[in-house]
Amino acid sequence: MSTTNSGTEAVRLTDITKTFPGIVANDKINLTINTGEIHSICGENGAGKSVLMKILYGIHSPDSGEIHINGKRVDFHSPKDAIAHGIGMVHQHFMLADNLTVLENIILGSEPYHIPYININFSKAKREIGELNESYGLNIDLDRTIDTLSIGQLQRVEIIKALYRGAKILILDEPTACLVPQEVDELFNNIREMDAKGDTIIFIDHKLDEVLEISERITVLRGGKTVATVEKENTDTKQLAELMIGSSLPTPQGVPETVTNQAALKVQNLHVKGDRGEEAVRGVDFHINKGEIVGIAGVEGNGQIELIQCLLGIRNAEQGSIEMLEHNKGVVNGSTENNEEQTKLINITSTPVSDRRISGLGYIPSDRFKLGILPQAPLWENAMLGHQRQQPYSRSGFWITKRQSIQQTEKIIDEFDVRTPSSQVAIHALSGGNQQKLVIGREMVMNLSVLLAAHPTRGIDVGAQAAVWDQLRVAKSKGLAILLISADLDELLGLSDRLLVILRGNITADLDPDTITARDLGIHMTGAEGELSKV
Amino acid sequence: MNSQKSNNFRSFGLGISTSLAAILLSLIIASLILLISGSNPLQAYWDLIERGVRIDIIFNILNRAMPLYVSAIAVAIGFRMNLFNIGVEGQYAIAAIIAAQVGAKVGVDLPGFLGILNGPIHILIILLTAMAVGAAWAGIAGVLKVTSGIHEVISTIMLNAISGSFLIALLLKEWKLDDEDIFQTATIPKSGRLPALAKVTEPGTAVLSSFLIIALIVGVAYWIYVYKTRPGFDLRASGMNPLAAQASGVSPVKTILIAMLLSGAIAGLVGMPELLGPAGKPYYHDSFVGMLGFNGIAVALLGQNHPGGIALSALFISFIDTTSIVLDANDSTPKEIIDIMIGIIIFVMVIAFGYSKKIREANEAKQSALVLAKNGSSPPT
């Protein structure tokens, strides 16, 4: 079938079935991957591709079905078995120790020794890894510590790690999720290099243009089943999208003009320090009007986290001012049809978080689990988190009103389609997408004037993503001012009315999302072209 | 709604069966220990129960449970926000000595018919002094934590040691009575003492301390604060996920200070039944009751930081503690065996609670997955 190599099978999965309590994640999946090909597995979040790959990598055992590697039947009990059969995996979330060097991270767990378990043979490791590094053109300084590397570099470390363990079949799980276009190009070059050396690449993704660019064959999964395997030459994005979700892909688009000229958030000469005392935000000025979405584009680690933390109030401003419009009290659900609309901004630069929240500042955190929820608490207590001082959750800001809180939570569950047995179960029992829907819903049902949204659709499926986009648009049409941070450039371009580029703590460009392409945006995000080659 | 109810019922049933299983298991282990030490376990248990149903013994069990309960509540407030207040021991000791001194020196003498208020006001002054001193002592640890990041376990252990020495200094020098050989504070007059709630003379003499009412108030207040008020929610939120709580507008500094101050204030009350109760001595002395702070930690853990659970575990520990004396007297079972049994019971229960929590979480996850499957949504990745 494949044009590369002799057509021997590197991987054959036959009738793989895997169920979790109440759910069939993989339903008799059949998949054949030829030696030396680049094969993409695509499907929307929840289609079962990650589970399938975890089965191939020995993390899960299938309930039934067979795995053949290079023609031999195998039974994996742990990733160790998979590695022994030449399978490597680069996970979506990197598994690296921050304070160790690249070299130490790569050999961790498979160290070469002078004297077994006593004396690590670093020079041998360095020589071998250096050879890999060079022959694959991966270009990584082995002596740097992990915390000094960019996302793209971290990914290459993970790739070397797999290659060092003898991987001939490499699984890349959504490798482009947090890369800018230029980094994606580099990754693709690395992948082609590996392909040229005869390695087999399994590429998991749901960005169809990327899938079409890199792969030779594409297998589409939907609802835990194999829908089709197609050759790249015989397909296009439209067909793939239809295979993936049964209809065309939703994209953020067509925003009606709702921007007013009334500023809702105004930031002047804001300086913020980072965790290590470095100046993370260096004097930014911007404003967001009512009914406007302003997107902040930037490679992660350029000050956007510190900026949003400072706006929220959990990080001090060193200098400068933040002003926001207080929401209209007594107005239902964000509607601003009010005769006496407030137009005066209040200075919140040194106001505590609680008061900012009461004034109508909403927050969708970038990392739901770490920053957004109380995992062991029931849904209704999670719904009130952030608004616990306000009605309907409490009376006089002191007495918790449980009945009303539960009602409000049930409203959120209905309106935002949170799939849950009830409002009383602990939130950790819900899937990530449903947790996120609650986290977004609890902000949207409140009277807000400004919403800080950091990666609002990270880790939720395509359908839910479209719903979130709609909700943001509806909220904005009602006069909400939204600050949007996202690693998904399509999301930024599709939703924002204006795009600000943040680079090393400065806002370096103010762009019109209607006229700029993702590629040009990427160039802005990484600085000038000359800077690109340095990464 | 219906399935929710059956869920609640199931989770309640799970809690009860876990406790029963834990008690059964610890009884088996305890029986083995009794057998090995040469006693008849059935006889021993019978002796315990026979004694435990006597009204005078029940009074004593209650009296003993009260300070344990209050101590555990003080610890539980800290636990609610992941603060480990090991310092209840020192907090109640120093609160007791200062409250004792204040109680002895301050007299309340209202004119005329207001005179009936003399007692209550006097008692109130002593209680408030104890709470203030306890809060202040615990507050030191709180301030150290928010200003210099010193862990509360370290600072409260140190403060325990300091309070011990401080007490000795006060007793030996400052507040020492004229009589050279007695190390105690001056006596609190009758008006500053808690009356008996009930008295029995048959089958033995015993009084029930009216501190019971104070302990109940503390328990109810704790329950209301933690489950019914917004500051209580903030406290719990900080305990469950400090970063998410902070983003929701909870000030970590404020919450740590409030938790330490409240915990210390409640801890201040721990020594009060001994000091003011009908059965204790009305002054602080060099053999004032100890270990209540540390035992409170075990009781709080056993009671899962829940006011009702803490009450049950305080009663349970007090029951074994009070009735076990009979074993020592009746036959050859040494009192130490009882201490070993208490240790084992706590151990087994903590393990059992851990398991039951896991089972409950797995059940919830399964329920949610079923809902997803029913609504025809996609599986998790």
Closest Cα partner for B370 from A422, A245, A432, A437? A422
| Residue in chain B nearest A223 by alpha carbon | B378
User: For residue A37, how many other CB atoms are within 10 A of its CB?
Assistant: 21
Quote the pTM value: 0.78
Give the residue numbers spanning the domain of B287. Answer: 2-374
Interchain pair B379, A363: CB under 8 A: no
Mutate to test the interface with B, among A309, A393, A400, A452 (most CBs of B within 10 A): A400
Cα A391 versus chain centre, distance = 33
Please say whether the beta carbons of A263 and A289 come within 8 A: yes
Q: How far apart are alpha carbons A428 and A389 in whole angstroms?
A: 24
Sequence-separated (6 or more) residues with CB below 8 Å from residue B28: none
Q: How far apart are alpha carbons A104 and B194 in whole angstroms?
A: 68
Low-confidence ranges of chain A (pLDDT < 70): 1-7, 21-23, 45-46, 245-256, 328-343, 459, 461-463, 528-535
B17 interfaces chain A, CB cutoff of 8 Å:
no
Q: How far apart are alpha carbons A49 and A41 in whole angstroms?
A: 7
Interchain pair A377, B237: CB under 8 A: yes
Q: Which residues of chain A does B361 touch, with a Cβ-Cβ cutoff of 8 Å?
A: 426, 428-429
Question: Tokens representing A385?
Answer: 């988190």
Instruction: Write the CATH number for B327.
Output: 1.10.3470
Residue B130 lies in a domain: yes
Residue A115 three-state SS: strand
Please say whether the beta carbons of B315 and B64 come within 8 A: no
Q: How far apart are alpha carbons A294 and A498 in whole angstroms?
A: 5
Question: Tokens representing A300?
Answer: 């992660």
B81 interfaces chain A, CB cutoff of 8 Å:
no
Residue B381 lies in a domain: no
A316 interfaces chain B, CB cutoff of 8 Å:
no
Q: What is the ipTM of this complex?
A: 0.84
Question: Tokens representing B291?
Answer: 């270990």
Interchain pair A20, B380: CB under 8 A: yes
Q: Angle formed by the axes of helices B2-36 and B41-52, to 10°?
A: 120
Q: Which residues of chain B does A46 touch, with a Cβ-Cβ cutoff of 8 Å?
A: 377-381
| Residue in chain A nearest B231 by alpha carbon | A398
Whole-number pLDDT of residue A250? 54
Interchain pair B375, A425: CB under 8 A: no
Alpha-carbon distances of A533 from A144, A185, A192, A523, rounded to whole Å: 18, 12, 19, 12
Classify burial at A132, counting beta carbons within 10 Å of its beta carbon; exposed 0-12, middle 13-18, buried 19 or more: middle
Closest Cα partner for A25 from A210, A224, A304? A224
Residue B264 lies in a domain: yes
B370 interfaces chain A, CB cutoff of 8 Å:
yes
B36 interfaces chain A, CB cutoff of 8 Å:
no
Whole-number pLDDT of residue A488? 80
Calculate the average pLDDT of chain A: 84
Residue B112 has what DSSP assignment?
G
pLDDT in tens, chain B (381 residues): 444 555 555 666 666 677 677 778 878 888 888 888 777 888 888 888 888 888 999 999 999 999 999 999 999 999 998 899 999 999 999 999 999 989 988 877 777 777 778 888 999 999 999 999 999 999 999 999 999 989 999 999 999 999 888 887 877 777 777 666 677 888 888 888 888 888 888 888 889 999 999 999 999 999 999 999 999 999 999 999 999 999 999 999 999 999 999 999 999 999 999 999 887 888 888 888 888 999 999 889 888 888 998 999 899 889 888 887 777 776 666 777 777 777 887 788 778 878 887 887 777 777 777 766 655 444 433
Q: Angle formed by the axes of helices B55-80 and B41-52, to 10°?
A: 90
Helices (H), chain B: 2-36, 41-52, 55-80, 88-105, 118-148, 152-169, 211-228, 230-240, 242-247, 252-268, 272-276, 292-302, 307-323, 325-330, 335-374
Sign of CA dihedral B114, B116, B120, B126: positive
Alpha-carbon distances of B124 from B83, B102, B187, B225, rounded to whole Å: 29, 12, 17, 22
Q: Specify the number of domains making up chain B.
A: 1
The CA-CA-CA angle for residues B136, B141, B145, to 5°, reads 135
Q: Which residues of chain A does B377 touch, with a Cβ-Cβ cutoff of 8 Å?
A: 46, 419
Closest Cα partner for A436 from A480, A474, A467? A467
Interchain pair A353, B246: CB under 8 A: yes
Residue B193 has what DSSP assignment?
S
Q: Which residues of chain B does A20 touch, with a Cβ-Cβ cutoff of 8 Å?
A: 369, 379-380
* C-alpha dihedral (B1, B4, B5, B7), degrees to nearest 10: 160
**Bridge pairing between strands A399-400 and A394-395:** antiparallel
Residue B379 lies in a domain: no
Task: Find residues 349-368 of chain B whose CB sits inside 8 Å of chain A.
Answer: 361, 364-368
Q: Which residues pair with A100 in a beta bridge?
A: none
Q: How far apart are alpha carbons A192 and A171 in whole angstroms?
A: 14
The enclosing H or E element of B210 equals none
B377 interfaces chain A, CB cutoff of 8 Å:
yes
Classify burial at A247, counting beta carbons within 10 Å of its beta carbon; exposed 0-12, middle 13-18, buried 19 or more: exposed
Q: How far apart are alpha carbons B316 and A14 in whole angstroms?
A: 59
Alpha-carbon distances of A331 from A35, A327, A338, A343, A445, rounded to whole Å: 63, 8, 8, 15, 12
Q: How far apart are alpha carbons B16 and B227 in whole angstroms?
A: 21
User: Could you identify the residue written with the tokens 């947090």?
Assistant: A178
Alpha-carbon distances of B53 from A101, A491, B48, B56, B123, rounded to whole Å: 68, 71, 9, 9, 32
Residue B380 lies in a domain: no
Interchain pair B240, A377: CB under 8 A: yes
User: For residue B253, how many other CB atoms are within 10 A of its CB?
Assistant: 12
Residue B150 lies in a domain: yes
Interchain pair B380, A388: CB under 8 A: no
Q: How far apart are alpha carbons A81 and A63 in whole angstroms?
A: 18
Closest Cα partner for A68 from A80, A56, A83, A54? A56
Residue B142 lies in a domain: yes
Q: What are phi and psi of B79, to 5 degrees?
A: -60, -35
Question: Tokens representing A39?
Answer: 């094969």
Residue B101 lies in a domain: yes
Mutate to test the interface with B, among A431, A436, A446 (most CBs of B within 10 A): A431
